[in-house]
Structure 1
Amino acid sequence: MGTHVIKMPDIGEGIAEVELAQWHVKVGDLVVEDQVLADVMTDKAMVDIPSPVHGKVLSLGGQPGEVMAVGSILISIEVEGAGNLKASDQLVKEPAPIKEAAPAAVAPKVEAAPVLESKPVAACRPAPQAPVARDADERPLASPAVRKHALDLGIQLRLVQGSGPAGRILHEDLDTYLAQGTQNARSGSTPSGYAERHDEEQIPVIGMRRKIAQRMQEATQRAAHFSYVEEIDVTAVEELRAHLNEKHGATRGKLTLLPFLVRALVVALRDFPQINARYDDEAQVITRHGAVHVGVATQSDVGLMVPVVRHAEARSLWDSAAEIARLATAARSGKAARDELSGSTITLTSLGALGGIVSTPVLNLPEVAIVGVNKIVERPMVIKGQVVIRKMMNLSSSFDHRVVDGMDAALFIQAIRGLLEQPASLFVE
């Protein structure tokens, strides 16, 4: 038997160090080739680190949240044969096996299926066992969704046996726990809706959540934010959208409102090039872009991500719709490439049906504008002396006052309003 050492890979783009976000294995686990071992976080994206070999995990090279240099030892695996451990590697002190740390707020990933061959394969998932008791300060592995489900059910996760990788607690483990009966139930101490609660949970700010926090803090500290809110009558554009979906939806795909908003941005920016810009405040240089690369803020299990619809100025409604859907799926599944998450010149953010009445979006530096979409509501409006029901929506947008004057911001949003209220003008060249 030999030892195969996996070092922190060179992610590219001159990155010298990355953050270890999450382990998917622990010491003693059997792993197979291509199985995801860990997630690491760069400034731009989450990256999977797969295993190039079959074998048994001997040691882990860091804790989640630790920043590791490219080339440092990430993990050591016992393999058949000589392995790849070199004398130079042996000079590096191997870290002692570490206790599994609290998981980052990231989505669990599906591991590679075991390969049916004579080489070591991943251990089969054990059958759920009877309730177990952990130390009061021990935080079991579980995804945020499982933690919320357990909270709703009144289950203490430290009493649940996990059957997932590295002992992770799954939804089915909660079902098994309830079916078997729990120690809390037998003692009559199951929390009720009116019972006092004294539990608390500490969640380390690491991985994607740390990057989001850093970027939001940097944006609010460096840019001079100001917001502008305008009400838009979207009745006509919604009627057009419904008509196009009825006529072409089966062959070209369904349209949401987002492609129309992207088109409105493209047309309005022709008259406001100072808003389709990026500001390098260290070099004191403003770069105005002819291309409109629209970042579309997307909520995923690992946090807010901003995939980029490149060259929106050259896309039709359906082309934009397809690209938005593709990028959103990639971002939510953790498969978005690094270059798909960078390079935007202006950002569009929407909470959909939860969009509220007004919001104050934070700039996506180094951009100087972000357009926020609030929810559509039906309201009585007075038009030509008559009270009629119209579909209304607010745009809540933020700008960098160091670059964009208030009058220009207002005129820009008014231009978008005019385009959406008279949607035929979106396509007049």
Structure 2
Amino acid sequence: MAKFTFNMPDIGEGIAEAEIVQWHKQVGDTVNEDEEFVDMMTDKATVPMESPVTGKILEIAGGEGDMVSIGSMLVVIEVEGEVPDDVTEESQAAAEAAPAPAPAPKAEPVEERIEVETSDASDADDALAADPDPAPQPEPRPAPEPSAQAKVLATPAVRKRAKELGVDLAQVKPAEDGRIRHGDLDQFLTYNAGYGAAAKPRADEEKKVIGMRRRIAENMAASKRNIPHFSYVEEVDVTDLEVLRAQLNSNRGEKPKLTILPLLITAICKTLPDFPMINARYDDEAGIVTRHGSVNMGMAAQTDAGLMVPVIRNAQAQNLWQLANEIARLAEAARTGTAKSEEMQGGTLTVTSLGPLGGVATTPVINRPEVAIIGPNRIIERPMYVTGADGVERIEKRKLMNISISCDHRVVDGWDAASFVQALKRLLETPALILVD
């Protein structure tokens, strides 16, 4: 018998540590060579670790949510006979390796760097009181027939929760893409209080905030703590834009169906050259604002793991159909957890939309270190006074959408934000100009 120590390897992202997301094996379990035994999360991606040997696990580095430094012990495995020399050398090299330095960013066209003097923002901590009287545990309910749940699209986590609650997923209304998520399940339980035992109060549940959810929490807290946000909202008449979109879709052939998002991104890219302070990143520590010439558009996408922001590179150089393809590809990669590390970083401006749940207005939180985020809201129809070509004012049914923008007030003034949105509004309300080079 021999003991083999598997040290946390440097996975090539210039990180100093990684977070334990999920153990697939525990102390006392047998792990086979090349079998995944734990998922580790960096700032950008979740990476499964595979065992180089077969044996019994004697020791693990910690629990889910704990951080493990690069080169430190991740797991100790008892193996039959001797550990191969190449495996031992590889693990020892990992222990001696220092975190790789972050790669220097590639030069981007027409960038302007501006030094900015700032003062430190104060921090504030909130405490939450615990409920001393937990709700009673619900009685167990029979799970629905597997055949009923197999007909719907849902992740394993959603299926497991539905099974525990005794909910038939076939009766739950899915999201627009046909996939059932936790929010859809919550909505079903809210509006079907008499379903099974759902009328009984749910028991309090404590869940450790780890993995992607913790990254989101840390990033959002840092953004609100460090950035003085302000928001501006304007109403846009998108009636003609929707007519143009319908015309383009009716003649698209084999091209992907256009949503409003490629049109909006194209309009934003055409507006930004006159407002370089919007397409920028702010280095707090160095006090430097970098105004970017190219537009790396972050696209907030909701996934079962939480909000992710894949990046459309050089969005200003892509046409509507290329943008539609890239939006669909990145959204699917984010939902399935297959997005690459480089596809999740380097954004210069973000667009976030709640789709059909968009509401009247939003005040989105800036994706730091960017300095602005744009939120299109739901399109609604309502009567408006419209002046025709004959100069006569009349009432017409029009399609309206509010555009929200949140900005970093250290970099963007209110006048600049309002002027940018007004310029964007003029372009969206005269959509033929979006297609003009």
Cα gap change, 1:243 to 1:60, in 2 (>3 Å): same
Tell me the amino acid that sits aligned with residue 241 of structure 1: R
Superimposed CA distance per residue, residues 311-335 of structure 1 (whole angstroms, 9 cap, x where no aligned partner)? 0111011111111111111111111
Equivalent of 1:280 in 280, 283, 290: 283
Equivalent of 1:371 in 369, 374, 388: 374
Show the counterpart of 2:295: 292
State the shift of 1:428 in Å: 2.1
Give the aligned length.
344
Show the counterpart of 1:418: 426
Describe the SS at the equivalent of 1:426: helix
1:221 is the counterpart of 2:229: no
Describe the SS at the equivalent of 2:246: helix
Describe the SS at the equivalent of 1:389: strand
The 5 A counterparts of 1:7-406 are: 7-32=7-32, 34-78=34-78, 82-84=82-84, 144-146=157-159, 148-150=161-163, 152-153=165-166, 192-195=197-200, 197=201, 199-248=203-252, 250-384=253-387, 385-406=393-414
Q: Measure the CA separation in 1 of the matches of 2:29 and 2:394.
A: 72
Q: CA RMSD for the aligned pairs?
A: 2.8
Tell me the amino acid that sits aligned with residue 83 of structure 1: V
Q: Measure the CA separation in 2 of the matches of 1:145 and 1:246.
A: 36
8 A contact 2:4–2:88 mirrored in 1 = no
8 A contact 2:310–2:331 mirrored in 1 = yes
- Show structure 2 runs of 5+ residues with no match: 96-141, 144-154, 169-194, 388-392
Describe the SS at the equivalent of 2:250: helix
State the shift of 1:86 in Å: 5.1
State the shift of 1:46 in Å: 2.2
TM-score, L = length of structure 2: 0.72
Describe the SS at the equivalent of 2:75: strand
Q: Measure the CA separation in 2 of the matches of 1:38 and 1:244.
A: 47
State the shift of 1:266 in Å: 0.5
Cα gap change, 1:245 to 1:154, in 2 (>3 Å): closer
8 A contact 1:154–1:192 mirrored in 2 = no
TM-score, L = length of structure 1: 0.74
Shift >6 Å, 4+ stretches:
none
- Decide which moves more: 69-78 or 371-380: 69-78
Percent identity, aligned pairs only? 51
Q: Measure the CA separation in 2 of the matches of 1:39 and 1:152.
A: 27
Tell me the amino acid that sits aligned with residue 45 of structure 1: A
Describe the SS at the equivalent of 1:252: coil
Cα gap change, 1:86 to 1:53, in 2 (>3 Å): closer
Show the counterpart of 2:187: none
Cα gap change, 1:413 to 1:153, in 2 (>3 Å): same
State the shift of 1:58 in Å: 4.3
Tell me the amino acid that sits aligned with residue 42 of structure 1: T
State the shift of 1:289 in Å: 0.4
Cα gap change, 1:251 to 1:86, in 2 (>3 Å): closer
Describe the SS at the equivalent of 1:37: strand
Cα gap change, 1:348 to 1:79, in 2 (>3 Å): same
Cα gap change, 1:285 to 1:410, in 2 (>3 Å): same
Show the counterpart of 2:113: none
- Decide which moves more: 9-18 or 408-417: 9-18
8 A contact 1:4–1:78 mirrored in 2 = yes
Describe the SS at the equivalent of 2:19: strand
State the shift of 1:193 in Å: 4.8
State the shift of 1:151 in Å: 6.3
Cα gap change, 1:237 to 1:152, in 2 (>3 Å): farther
